[in-house]
Chains A and B, each alone.
Chain A
Amino acid sequence: DAEITQSPRHKITETGRQVTLACHQTWNHNNMFWYRQDLGHGLRLIHYSYGVQDTNKGEVSDGYSVSRSNTEDLPLTLESAASSQTSVYFCASSGSGVVTEAFFGQGTRLTVV
Chain B
Amino acid sequence: TQLLEQSPQFLSIQEGENLTVYCNSSSVFSSLQWYRQEPGEGPVLLVTVVTGGEVKKLKRLTFQFGDARKDSSLHITAAQPGDTGLYLCAYDSGGSNYKLTFGKGTLLTVNP
Contacts and interface: CB of A to CB of B under 8 A. Distances in A.
Contact of B98 (A90, A96, A105, A107): A96
Nearest to B9: A40
B15 interface: no
A60 interface: no
Contacts of A92: 42, 100
A43 B35 CA distance: 12
A31 B105 contact: no
Nearest to B48: A99
Interface string A83-113: 0000000101010110111101111000000
Interface string B18-59: 000000000000010101000011111100101000000000
Interface in A36-72: 40-43, 45, 48, 50
B14 to A, nearest CB: 25
B101 A45 contact: yes
B75 interface: no
Interface centre among B44, B92, B99 (most CB of A within 10 A): B99
B104 interface: yes
Given A41-B104, A42-B103, A43-B102, A104 B43 contact: yes
Interface of A: 31, 33, 35, 40-43, 45, 48, 50, 90, 92, 94, 96-97, 99-102, 104-107
The 3 closest A-B pairs by CB, nearest first: A104-B42, A42-B104, A43-B102
